[in-house]
């Protein structure tokens, strides 16, 4: 399904405690089930702006929750993808506060059904490459849009190889996790998957996805059979010997109905190739040297900045999200990152982990949703 983005511009006409803060009126909007609605908030001031929103919908327990991401120059982007259960009329209340003076605007949003009954929104593309040196598992998020049902079944459409599982972690979501054993990786490098989503109304769709084992190694150049007697060879590559750096604040204990988020400032002069949060609810057998193969892996995304110096974030699915209020669990995690130095032929990449040894940990407790 094509993504429809409706941009709503909120302009602050005044600022400061003397003049107050004003928001331009916004007319009624229409959102489509399974399509992202984007609301761009813009403050006509260089001062610091605090943005917030509320709604008549209970959005706190969504697997994919609305986001409100602040940017520079007094801008922020609100993103929300409605579900089939959201069909109908709703009210969203946006607030922008400058120097303690709030301005607000209530927006009426009508959610309508889309044209396609059921489709995969994630994963995108036809496959991915798993480098077992960089990460022990491929974890592929699964997210389905269904314009007529609020819940789907997600299952394998064919036999899966050893080390692969498909689990559902929400009414319209799940994950494909593939952790091939070393013996299997020696026998086979290409693993095709067929993932099937279906609902009670009979709608059904398939997603074909392939995981390829290996790395994007530079080509091997054969030696010149007729070397020049007076060669002028290209200089050897200048390789960066520094490892990337990770600056992070360990997550504290939290009581919530949502998922915890892990953030880190990651830097490297030549750029970051990837960043991963390894996590588990089981304490490591070796507290000083955790086995990353025994932990779940969640890719982190670049939220701001550049691959040379940026803020990265990853979301850990709450292990108590479906448990009664008051249930708690301990999450153990490690942040790992590798640089992009091996993009230069003849150079090798470098890996960094935070903490250097051991794990971070925090307690997550299921809050009352009321």
From the list 30, 24, 20, 19, the residue with the least C-alpha distance to 9 is: 24
Query: Considering just the CA atoms, what is the radius of gyration of the chain in Å?
Result: 24
Q: Which residues of the chain have pLDDT under 70?
A: 1-24, 45-47, 61, 63-64, 71-74, 114-116, 214-237, 345-346, 369-370
pLDDT given at position 219:
42
CATH of domain 245-366: 2.60.40.10
Straight-line distance from the first to the last Cα atom of the chain, in angstroms, rounded to the nearest whole number? 34
Q: Three-state DSSP class for 148?
A: coil
Of 316, 333, 332, 335, the C-alpha closest to 266 is: 335
**Assessment of whether the complete model's pTM goes beyond 0.75:** no
Whether 42 and 9 have beta carbons less than 8 Å apart is answered as: yes
Please state the φ and ψ torsions of residue 285, each to the nearest 5 degrees. -65, -35
Q: What is the pLDDT of residue 16?
A: 37
- Give yes or no on whether 118-213 and 245-366 have one common fold: yes
Tell me what pLDDT residue 330 has.
96
The Cα–Cα gap between 62 and 144 comes to: 13
Residue 12's pLDDT is what?
34
SS3 content of the chain, % helix, strand, coil (to 5): 5, 45, 50
Where do the domains of the chain lie? Answer: 9-112, 118-213, 245-366
Q: List CB contacts of 183: < 8 A, sequence separation 6 or more.
A: none
Say which CATH superfamily domain 118-213 falls into.
Immunoglobulins (2.60.40.10)
How far apart, in Å, are the Cα atoms of 247 and each of 64, 290, 309?
27, 20, 11
pLDDT of residue 72: 66
Q: What is the pLDDT of residues 224-279, one digit of tens each?
A: 555 555 555 556 667 878 889 999 999 999 998 888 999 999 999 888 888 999 99
Among the CATH numbers 2.102.10.10, 3.40.50.300, 2.60.420.10, 2.60.40.10, which is that of 9-112?
2.60.40.10
pLDDT value, residue 338: 87
Residue 133: predicted pLDDT: 75
Q: Is 85 helix (H, G, I), strand (E, B) or coil?
A: helix
- CB-based contact 31:80 (threshold 8 Å): yes
């Amino acid at each position: 399904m094509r993504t429809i983005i409706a941009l709503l511009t909120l302009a602050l006409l005044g600022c400061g405690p003397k003049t107050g803060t004003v928001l331009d009126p916004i007319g009624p909007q229409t959102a489509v089930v399974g399509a992202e609605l984007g609301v761009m908030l813009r403050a006509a001031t260089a001062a610091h702006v605090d943005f917030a929103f509320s709604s008549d919908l209970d959005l706190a327990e969504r697997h994919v929750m609305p986001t409100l991401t602040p940017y520079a120059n007094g801008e922020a982007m609100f993103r929300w993808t409605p579900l089939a259960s959201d069909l109908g009329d709703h009210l969203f209340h946006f607030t922008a506060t400058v120097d303690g003076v709030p301005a607000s605007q209530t927006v009426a949003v009508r959610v309508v059904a889309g044209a396609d009954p059921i489709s995969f929104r994630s994963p995108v593309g036809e496959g991915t490459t798993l480098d077992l040196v960089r990460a022990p598992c491929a974890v592929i998020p699964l997210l389905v849009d269904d314009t007529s049902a609020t819940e789907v079944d997600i299952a394998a459409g064919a036999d899966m190889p050893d080390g692969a599982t498909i689990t559902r972690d929400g009414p319209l979501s799940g994950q494909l996790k593939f952790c091939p054993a070393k013996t299997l990786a020696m026998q086979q490098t290409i693993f095709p998957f067929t993932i099937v989503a279906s609902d009670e109304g009979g709608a059904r769709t398939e997603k074909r996805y392939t995981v390829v084992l290996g790395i994007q190694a530079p080509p091997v150049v054969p030696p010149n059979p007729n070397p020049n007697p007076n060669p002028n060879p290209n200089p050897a590559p200048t390789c960066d010997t520094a490892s990337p750096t990770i600056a992070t604040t360990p997550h504290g204990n939290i009581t919530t109905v949502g998922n915890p988020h892990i953030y880190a400032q990651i830097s490297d002069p030549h750029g970051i190739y990837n960043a991963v949060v390894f996590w588990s609810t089981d304490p490591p057998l070796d507290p000083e040297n955790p086995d990353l193969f025994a932990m779940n892996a969640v890719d982190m995304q670049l939220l701001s900045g550049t691959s040379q110096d940026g803020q990265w974030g990853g979301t850990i699915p709450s292990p108590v999200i479906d448990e009664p209020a008051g249930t708690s669990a301990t999450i153990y995690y490690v942040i790992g990152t590798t640089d992009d130095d091996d993009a230069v032929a003849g150079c090798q990449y470098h890996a960094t982990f935070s903490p250097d040894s051991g794990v971070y940990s925090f307690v997550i407790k299921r809050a009352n949703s009321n």
